[in-house]
Amino acid sequence: MSKFAVLACVIGIVALAPQSRADDPVTLDSKTKQYQLTLQIGPTETMYSETEAKAKRPTSGEIMLSGKMVGGMTGMMPMSGMRHLELHVHSIDTGKVVTNARVTIVLKGSDKKRQMLPIVRMYGVTEGLDDLHYGNNVMLSPGAYTVDATVNGEAAHFSVTVPAGS
């Protein structure tokens, strides 16, 4: 096979590879001494208090156990650039979800400005309490970010790229 034929095949494979879109979740893992952490950034989520969830019986979204949501009132249309950031925390020793961790999350973009994320303790409506995680909706333009998470005093660092919309 000639070099040109190989190059054409490679270009074809790259062209057919799925491209990241704004709606595709970005998932990264890290470990501290005691915790397995999974950071996920995806499309914004509708968030409900426990009282709202009981009354409305939603079929999607997040149920907040503590904290306050960012980005407007429940049921509003998502704002452009708003994403949902969640940090799942599991004990390395037991594998179980850590349900009452002290969590901080700080984001820093290319502008070097630090943004402290207000922490909500929540779980997905369809997943239940096994999905308990920490995070919030947050305004994130496409680009590179660092996310520094601290769980009960143990720090983890993530480097993430938020894709542009398709």
**Residues of the chain with pLDDT > 90: what percent?**
70
22-162: CATH, from 2.60.40.2480, 3.40.50.12780, 3.40.50.150, 2.170.120.12: 2.60.40.2480
143-151 and 62-66 as β-strands: parallel, antiparallel, unpaired? unpaired
CA 44 to chain centre: 9
SS3 19: coil
Count H helices, E strands: the chain?
A: 2, 11
Residue 164 has pLDDT above 50, yes or no: yes
Compute the distance between CA of residue 81 and CA of residue 138 in angstroms, rounded to an integer.
Answer: 8
pTM: 0.81
Nearest to 160 by CA among 19, 31, 27, 37: 27
